[in-house]
Amino acid sequence: MDGELLSEAFVELTDTMVAGFDVIDFLHVLTDRSVQLLDVSAAGLLLADPRGELRVVAASSEAARLLELFQLQNDQGPCLDCFRTGRPVAAADLAAAASRWPRFAPAAGAAGFAAVQALPMRLREQVIGALNLFRARPGALDPADIRVGQALADVATISLLHERSMRHSDTLNEQLQTALNSRVIIEQAKGKLAERLAVDMDRAFTLLRDRARTSNRRLSDLAQAFIDGTETLTGPTASRSGQQLPGDGKPRQYPGPGSRPQP
């Protein structure tokens, strides 16, 4: 495991007191770093809304996000069990877990995942969500990786609660509801951008997130501006005024992750 990257991840997950703290970007840091540091293929994160119902708030890939949504829609899966019990839930071979999750297990296999480890986002008796770690091949996650994954989830949980307390928020539910509302806006912008640039959903989200960071804006604010038409996104280097990429005057097309623009 990359010790330097691990240290950076813990710093990122404790740095909630920065001006303009963006909870959605913060939660994506948790899923992204989980994939980078652990022997997993993807990660998804569910948080509870004010009614105690889980919602998808972050995922490292579109496949993971859709599978998390499938869990919620079918009220079945390891992340739900983890949240309800407040304890880790593991399935080293999802193909053998069809009797446990008859709808989720086949869907996970179809999405390219063969094993899963769910970790609670919990502080003492308060469980606010769950982190799902997906693997493309069968096999239990190494105990050392589980400890690190749980540590990341614990630090993120404490940071969210601490940020709420330090900023004198009325309740954690208010913060989580804001995050959930922002998530809806971001998903709409992501779909619109993916269609406009003819790229996949993962690439569209990366473009949105990169622009938000380089312009020092909240991801949800940028997404809303794009939906409203006050912000034009034509590529990773386009300006707020809608400047197009250099070349032939047309937006470049990004076929998908790993692809590069044509000169």
Tell me, what CATH number does 222's domain have?
1.10.10
With respect to residue 54, please indicate whether it lies within any of the assigned structural domains: yes
Residues 205 and 159 in one domain: no
- Name the domain boundary from 168, 193, 220: 168
Residue 49's Cβ-count burial label (10 Å; 0-12, 13-18, 19+) is middle
State whether 20 and 150 are in the same domain.
Answer: yes
Question: Which two tokens mark 253?
Answer: 């097309």
pLDDT in tens, 44-77: 999 887 788 889 989 999 999 999 999 999 999 9
Tell me, yes or no, whether 59 and 140 share the same domain.
Answer: yes
259 occurs within a structural domain: no
Same domain, 128 and 22: yes
- Cα separation, 191 vs 187, in Å, equals 6
Structural domain that includes position 193: 170-238
Boundary-marking domain end, from 131, 147, 168: 168
Share of the chain above pLDDT 90, in %: 46
Starting at the edge strand found earlier in the chain, the sheet holding 54-59 runs: 54-59, 42-48, 126-135, 115-123, 89-91
Q: Is residue 246 part of a domain?
A: no
Using pLDDT thresholds of 50, 70 and 90, give the confidence band for residue 178.
confident
**Domain match, 154 and 192 both:** no
At residue 123, the pLDDT reads: 85
Structure tokens at 263: 């000169």
Mean pLDDT of the chain: 81
Look at the chain and report how many structural domains it folds into: 2
Give the separation between CA 104 and CA 22, rounded to whole angstroms: 31
Do 55 and 84 lie in one domain? The reply is yes
Nearest to residue 233, comparing CAs of 220, 243, 221? 243
